[in-house]
C-alpha cells in the first residue's frame, strides 16, 4: 500500500494551504474532500482582521488584539506566521491577477448588500472598489441574474444604478458559474462592455457582480476597462463565489504540478487509531472502502457547513476522529435571542482546542493524537465571520499545521 507523508482532510482554504505548504517542502501529500470547501462559497478577498481600521498598519495593530485573546487561533500563530503564510498565498497569484493590500492595512470595499466591508488582501478585480466614490460610480446589475441585486447595492451605497441585458438572447436565469464561463469569451465580455458603455454618464468607476470569468479575470477586467474608460471592480455576492472558485482552481493546479494527490467527492468516514497515533483514514466510495495511510494528518474539515463539526440535540462532536470539542453550554445556550446582537452567538466558540503545535488536546490540555493536527475554522475560540478573519485563520493555521507536521 502506498504511503503518504501527509494526509489533509478538507478542501477549504485551510486544507489547501496545508497541502500546498507541505508539497512546497517536498512532502508527498494526499488531500481528501467532499467538494470545493467553503472557499468556493465565501472566498472573495482575504480577510485577516476586520477590526483594524483602514489606514492603520495591520502588523502594528494585530499584536495587541491577539495578546488580549490567548485562546484565539491567532495566538497559536502570531503575526509572524500570519505574514509568512500570506506571503506564500500571494506567491501563488502572480500579477496580473494578484492579491494586494491597498495601503498598509484594511480597505473598505462594497458588498452585494450595498454595505462596505473591511478586508485585507484584494484580488486585482476588486482593487478599484476600495477607491470608488459614490458620485463617480455606476453599479451595473445583470438582468435575469438574481444573486446580485444591483439596485439594492446602488440604493444603499448612494450611487447611480442600472441594469443591462446579457449580450445573448435567452440567458435569463443563468447562474454565476454560467455567466463566469461566458465571460471567459472575449466576444461575450466585449458585448457586455458595449452595453455598459451605453448606460454611462461620465462615471469613473463601474461596479459589477463578481462574475468576471474563471480563467482570465484580469484579461476580462482589462477588456472592460478599455471599452468603458472607467475603472471596473467586482462586488462579492450571494454564494457560490466565482473569485473563491478561482482560488480553489489555482491551488489545485499548483498542487497537482507539485505531485500532490487530489481525492475529491467522497468523505473520509473512519480512522484507525493505535497507541495514540492515527494509522490510516478510510474513504468511502460505495461500494468500496479504501484506507489511506500517512505519517501525519491534518484535519481541516471546516465547521458545521463543511461537516467538520456535528451536533445532535445534546452536544457538539467532531465526527471523524471523535476529538474533544469545546462545548458552548447546553443547546438552549448555543444561540442568543437576536440574530443580530452585539456579542457573537456562543456556539461559534465551539471547536477543537489545541496545543501550540495545533495538536488537539483534551480538557486537561493533554495531546490526544500525536500525529494529528487541526487547522482552519474547526478550531475553537474564534468568531471568523464577525471578526472578518476567515481567510486569515485558514491560511495561517493551515500553513503552521503543515510546517509543524513536517518538522516534527
146 binds other proteins (CB under 8 A): yes
Enter the C-alpha cell of residue 239: 454564494
78 binds other proteins (CB under 8 A): no
Return the sign of the alpha-carbon dihedral for residues 249, 251, 257, 263. Answer: negative
Q: Which of 150, 280, 360, 392 is in the footprint of other proteins by CB under 8 A? A: 150
Instruction: Quote the DSSP letter at residue 115.
Output: -
340 binds other proteins (CB under 8 A): yes
- Helix or strand holding residue 155 (H, E): helix 150-157
CA atoms of 393 and 301, how far apart (whole Å) = 14
311 binds other proteins (CB under 8 A): yes
- Helix or strand holding residue 14 (H, E): helix 13-24
Nearer to other proteins, 234 or 254 (CB): 234
CA-wise closest residue to 18 among 244, 301, 287, 222: 301
| Span 5-44, contacts to other proteins by CB under 8 A | 38, 41-42, 44
- Which of the stretches 92-100, 251-259, 261-269, 336-344 binds other proteins when contact is defined by CB under 8 A? 336-344
Nearer to other proteins, 44 or 61 (CB): 44
CA-wise closest residue to 232 among 196, 206, 265: 206
385 binds other proteins (CB under 8 A): yes
- Helix or strand holding residue 13 (H, E): helix 13-24
Count the site residues for other proteins by CB under 8 A: 64
Beta strand 372-374 pairing with 316-317: unpaired
Nearer to other proteins, 115 or 408 (CB): 115
Nearer to other proteins, 223 or 236 (CB): 236
Beta strand 116-119 pairing with 122-123: unpaired
246 binds other proteins (CB under 8 A): no
CA-wise closest residue to 99 among 72, 69, 127: 127
201 binds other proteins (CB under 8 A): no
80 binds other proteins (CB under 8 A): no
Q: Which residues bind other proteins (CB under 8 A)?
A: 38, 41-42, 44, 50, 111-118, 134, 141, 144, 146-147, 149-152, 154-163, 170, 172-173, 236-239, 303-305, 310-313, 330-332, 334-335, 337-342, 345, 347, 384-386, 388, 390
Amino acid at each position: 500500500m502506498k504511503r503518504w507523508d501527509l494526509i489533509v482532510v478538507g478542501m477549504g482554504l485551510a486544507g489547501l494551504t496545508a497541502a500546498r505548504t507541505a508539497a512546497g517542502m517536498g512532502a508527498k501529500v494526499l488531500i481528501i474532500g467532499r467538494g470545493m470547501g467553503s472557499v468556493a462559497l465565501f472566498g472573495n478577498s482575504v480577510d485577516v482582521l476586520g477590526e483594524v481600521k483602514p489606514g492603520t498598519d495591520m502588523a502594528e495593530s494585530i499584536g495587541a488584539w491577539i495578546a488580549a485573546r490567548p485562546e484565539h487561533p491567532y495566538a497559536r500563530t502570531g503575526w509572524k506566521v500570519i505574514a509568512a503564510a500570506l506571503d506564500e498565498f500571494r506567491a501563488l497569484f502572480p500579477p496580473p491577477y494578484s492579491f494586494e493590500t491597498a495601503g498598509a492595512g484594511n480597505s473598505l470595499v462594497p458588498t452585494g448588500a450595498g454595505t462596505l466591508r473591511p478586508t485585507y488582501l484584494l484580488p486585482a478585480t476588486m482593487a478599484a472598489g476600495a477607491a470608488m466614490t459614490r458620485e463617480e460610480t455606476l453599479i451595473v446589475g445583470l438582468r435575469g441574474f438574481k444573486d446580485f441585486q444591483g439596485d439594492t447595492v446602488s440604493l444603499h451605497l448612494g450611487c447611480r444604478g442600472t441594469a443591462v441585458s446579457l449580450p445573448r438572447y435567452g440567458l435569463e436565469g443563468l447562474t454565476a458559474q454560467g455567466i463566469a464561463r461566458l465571460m471567459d469569451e472575449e466576444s461575450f465580455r466585449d458585448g457586455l462592455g458595449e452595453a455598459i458603455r451605453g448606460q454611462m454618464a461620465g462615471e469613473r468607476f463601474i461596479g459589477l457582480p463578481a462574475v468576471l470569468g474563471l480563467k482570465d479575470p484580469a484579461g476580462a477586467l482589462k477588456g472592460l476597462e478599455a471599452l468603458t474608460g472607467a475603472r471596473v471592480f467586482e462586488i462579492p455576492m450571494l454564494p457560490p463565489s466565482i473569485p473563491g472558485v478561482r482560488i480553489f482552481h489555482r491551488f489545485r493546479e499548483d498542487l497537482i504540478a507539485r505531485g500532490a494527490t487530489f481525492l475529491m467527492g467522497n468523505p473520509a468516514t473512519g480512522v484507525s487509531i493505535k497507541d495514540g497515533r492515527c494509522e490510516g483514514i478510510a474513504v468511502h466510495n460505495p461500494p468500496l472502502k479504501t484506507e489511506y495511510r500517512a505519517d501525519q494528518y491534518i484535519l481541516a474539515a471546516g465547521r458545521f457547513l463543511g461537516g467538520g463539526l456535528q451536533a445532535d440535540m445534546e452536544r457538539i462532536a467532531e465526527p471523524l476522529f471523535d476529538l474533544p470539542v469545546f462545548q458552548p453550554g447546553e443547546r438552549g445556550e448555543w444561540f442568543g435571542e437576536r440574530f443580530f446582537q452585539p456579542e457573537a452567538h456562543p456556539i461559534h466558540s465551539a471547536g477543537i482546542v489545541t496545543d501550540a503545535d495545533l495538536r488537539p488536546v483534551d480538557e486537561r490540555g493533554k495531546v490526544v493524537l500525536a500525529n494529528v493536527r487541526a487547522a482552519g475554522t474547526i478550531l475553537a475560540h474564534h468568531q471568523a465571520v464577525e471578526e472578518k478573519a476567515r481567510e486569515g485563520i485558514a491560511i495561517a493555521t493551515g500553513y503552521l499545521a503543515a510546517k509543524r507536521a513536517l518538522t516534527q
